[in-house]
Amino acid sequence: MFFDNIFRKMLLPSSVVIAVLINGCEPPQQINQSSAQQLAPQAGIPKAKGGLRAPSTETAYALEYFEPTPENPEYGTLMVNDHAFLVPEGVPRPSIQSVYLLSHWEIKQGESVLDIGTGSGVQSIFAAEISDHIVATDISAKAVETAKLNVQRFGLQDKIDVRSPGDLFAPVKPDERFDVILFNIDYPSNQYTQFWWEIHERFFAQVRQHLKPNGRIYYQIGYIDNIPRVKAMADKNGLRIMRLRMDERLIFRRAPIVFLLQSEADVREQLRRKDIAYERQIEADKRRTDR
Ligand SMILES: C[S@@+](CC[C@H](N)C(=O)[O-])C[C@H]1O[C@@H](n2cnc3c(N)ncnc32)[C@H](O)[C@@H]1O
């Protein structure tokens, strides 16, 4: 967030410098084309001239920011590929962390999605290419207003339910459960931002209650020193890390990191069933060779 603010205020001479300031890392290496790219671009946002180009990342997504124009002084425009997101001052723009998460979630048709800390609505809007049932939440009233505006501009009101502002799961009913939960909010990245752990701890404590059986969590934490604490929070709350994706070419330790987490109990049950199926197969093979 800090670096993003600097990016906002300064015109920097080189896109590489911008990349480092935003992310503290080189562009992510993972190449994972998402079909979400095919989402039809919405109409009506004239492309402002003189935008700053973020690095050409090796994710499936490129970011480009355009300052507010005299015709549209309230909103800057953040392009994620050809998708224009309106973002006013005070609402975080889609960042390298956002597109890294976009590149690493998998959502199957028919699955429901909860997007916590939706900001401009970017995760939900790309997810809506696949899912018809998305709930987006944010603690900030301005972010909620912005997400609603962007959802409307993409014509996705039927698929994305942007809830009234609220902390973490507060806008979600106690019995509402989802196949996929996306989480990319602010996170600790230095000694002054350790207070964010409290929110992440609460997220880990509550998230299983809102997961459907075999549900998946895609969680972005963006700072390499955070990994042990994420592991501890997962262990404490009955979650297993199934996958961790990050760019190995780290500079400054600050880089997008995406975890895939699942309920430990679900994983054990899946393994138990696979073991049974495997043993049955071996027995069947043995009977066949004995005959
Ligand atoms: C860095 S932005 C990310 C936005 C979006 N998820 C993305 O991938 O681009 C973080 C968002 O999380 C929201 N947020 C912060 N704390 C929150 C909380 N306790 N509950 C819900 N949202 C929160 C902020 O208001 C902000 O809009």
User: pLDDT digit string (tens) for 182-220?
Assistant: 999 999 999 999 999 999 999 999 999 999 999 999 999
44-71 in b/e burial notation, b at 16+ Cβ within 10 A? ebeebeeebebbebebbbbbbbbebeee
Residue 183 contacts residue 215 (beta carbons within 8 Å): no
**C-alpha span between 20 and 50 (Å, rounded):** 20
Q: In the structure, which protein residues have their CB atom closer than 6 angstroms to any atom of ligand 1?
A: 92, 94, 98, 101, 116-119, 122-123, 137-140, 143, 167-168, 184-186, 199
Q: Is the pLDDT of residue 38 over 80?
A: no
Residue 117 has pLDDT above 50, yes or no: yes
pLDDT band for position 37 (cuts 50, 70, 90): very low
pTM for the model stands at: 0.81
Angle between helices 15-23 and 96-104 (to 10 degrees): 80
How would residue 250 be classed by pLDDT, with cut points 50, 70 and 90? low
Task: Calculate mean pLDDT across residues 55-65.
Answer: 70
> Per the structure block, which two tokens stand in for 248?
């190995």
Is residue 255 within 8 A of residue 24, CB to CB? The reply is yes
Give Dmax over CA atoms of the chain in angstroms. 84
Alpha-helix residue ranges (DSSP H) falling in the chain: 2-9, 15-23, 96-104, 122-127, 141-153, 196-207, 227-236, 264-290
Nearest-atom number in ligand 1 for the CA of 91 is: 27
Confidence band, pLDDT 50/70/90 cuts, at residue 58 = low
What average pLDDT does range 245-249 have in this prediction? 76
Average pLDDT over residues 54-75: 79
Helix (H, G, I), strand (E, B) or coil at 4: helix
Give mean pLDDT, residues 219-226: 91
Nearest ligand 1 atom to the CA of 102 is 8
Q: How far apart are CA 207 and CA 266, in angstroms?
A: 14
| Ligand 1 atom 10, closest CA | 185
pLDDT at site 249: 62
Q: Is the pLDDT of residue 252 over 80?
A: no
Which structural domains are found in the chain, ordered by start? 2-290 (3.40.50.150)
